[in-house]
Amino acid sequence: MIPSKPLAGLKVVELGTLIAGPFASRICAEFGAEVIKVESPDGGDPLRKWRKLYEGTSLWWFVQARNKQSITLNLKHEDGREVLKKLLSEADILIENFRPGVLEKLGLGWHVLHALNPRLVMVRLSGFGQSGPMQDQPGFGAVGESMGGLRYITGFEDRPPVRTGISIGDSIAALWGVVGALMALRHREVNGGQGQVVDVALYEATFAMMESMVPEFDVFGFIRERTGNIMPGITPSSIHTCGDGKHIQIGANGDAIFQRFMRAIHREDLASDPALADNAGRDARRDELYGVIDRWAASLPLSEVEAVLVRAEVPASRIYSAEDMFKDPQFLAREMFLSAKLPDGKPFKMPGIVPKLSETPGGVEWTGPQLGEHNQAVLSRLGYSAEQIAALKDGGAI
């Protein structure tokens, strides 16, 4: 018997576009929730056209919307809003990432929806949250990363701040949104509570990840600055260039690990130096140590550097490209690439499921749907007849 997924039985309605809201609902869909994605009839989620397209549709879309049902609703149309209210009257979670106030202007604010369905959990993802002097301002993930502190500390000290390479602020906010939704559901189911609002601001989602930044400033007036690939106080831990021009991250900052590493590269003098027995001592001589490691790494190709580090049990990793990942036995053993098919039948790989649950694992049943692909099925389940659905379409509501 195949076990049910852990979120089976939950109904989630997504009023989201692009990254934060859709990523949150994607996680729910992967673990068994019925996710109904509401899109504008006029083109749908812009993510459908982002980055690399295959026959006019984003490859990202096929991943971000997997396991979801797509319906089209014109929320500026009264009949479209009525369909949404019917959906929400029986939903467990609403995930939305509009600018604060948009749903209120449509007559779909929290108080209206809570009265309609007291059990509803409403996850609201926005740039600055649902309160405060900046609540009405637009904010993307890049803005949240900047205000939340991530951009300030990312990069090299002699250059301007840089981005991390992906829209990490949006994805972090999505994760907090799912965590909050599950907390709210537990309160509802275990404590007998009602639904509530989960208010996630992108800048706060990033800010929450900033480690010891707040107490360090408050107690010492210390402002963490950009330090490139190293972190002062944790030495040695950095990226090094090998003799063949390839790069490797080496984290030898544990006391015993450092000693093993130095012996492996024939530096017994450093391994046995009492001044280097702890992080504080090593950090005081970090330029010397990084010079030693740089010269050693540069003397060998990446494969030989890796072999030495594996034998010495030193945490390390080459800097993986997508090509590296596709060939890596660890990725393959953990099923981090799932096989799927594009609409024309062409096979392709998509990312596997995270996290791994031993008894009720998540999975992918289908890839991102066509715009409005599930209009008929969803509206029929809500009690609309074929004639009523046709009338909604003719009237511009769907």
Domain count, the chain: 2
Distances (CA, A) of 308 to 180, 193, 239, 312, 395: 44, 57, 16, 6, 69
Domain that holds residue 252: 237-318
CATH number at residue 372: 3.40.50.10540
Residue 218 located in a structural domain: no
For residue 180, give the amino acid letter: G
pLDDT tens, position by position, 234-289 = 999 999 999 999 999 999 999 999 999 999 999 999 999 999 999 999 999 999 99
At 39 the three-state DSSP class reads strand
Evaluate whether 398 touches 375 at the Cβ level (below 8 Å). yes
SS3 annotation, 309-360: HHHCCCCEEECCCHHHHHHCHHHHHCCCEEEEECCCCCEEEEECCCCCCCCC
Check whether residue 44 and residue 162 sit in a common domain.
Answer: yes
Tell whether the model's pLDDT for residue 1 goes beyond 60.
no
Active centre residues (catalytic): 170
The token pair at 20 is 């934060």
Residue 29 located in a structural domain: yes
Q: Mean of the per-residue pLDDT values for the chain?
A: 96
Evaluate whether 231 touches 237 at the Cβ level (below 8 Å). yes
What pairing do the DSSP bridges indicate for beta strands 68-72 and 347-351? unpaired
Check whether residue 163 and residue 47 sit in a common domain.
Answer: yes
Across 198-203, average pLDDT = 98
The token pair at 10 is 């939950």
Predicted pLDDT of residue 232: 85
Evaluate whether 181 touches 196 at the Cβ level (below 8 Å). no
The token pair at 326 is 């596709």
Check whether residue 43 and residue 135 sit in a common domain.
Answer: yes
Residue 230 located in a structural domain: no
Measure the CA angle with vertex 88, ends 16 and 8; round to 5°: 85
The token pair at 6 is 């852990």
Check whether residue 172 and residue 91 sit in a common domain.
Answer: yes
3 pLDDT band, cuts 50/70/90, is low
Predicted pLDDT of residue 94: 98
User: Could you say which of 318, 344, 370 is where a domain stops?
Assistant: 318
Check whether residue 152 and residue 272 sit in a common domain.
Answer: no
Distances (CA, A) of 300 to 43, 264, 269, 290, 312: 53, 14, 21, 16, 16
pLDDT tens, position by position, 107-159 = 999 999 999 999 999 999 999 999 999 999 999 999 999 999 999 999 999 99
CATH number at residue 289: 3.30.1540.10
Residue 95: phi, psi to the nearest 5? -115, 120
Predicted pLDDT of residue 2: 59
Check whether residue 190 and residue 279 sit in a common domain.
Answer: no
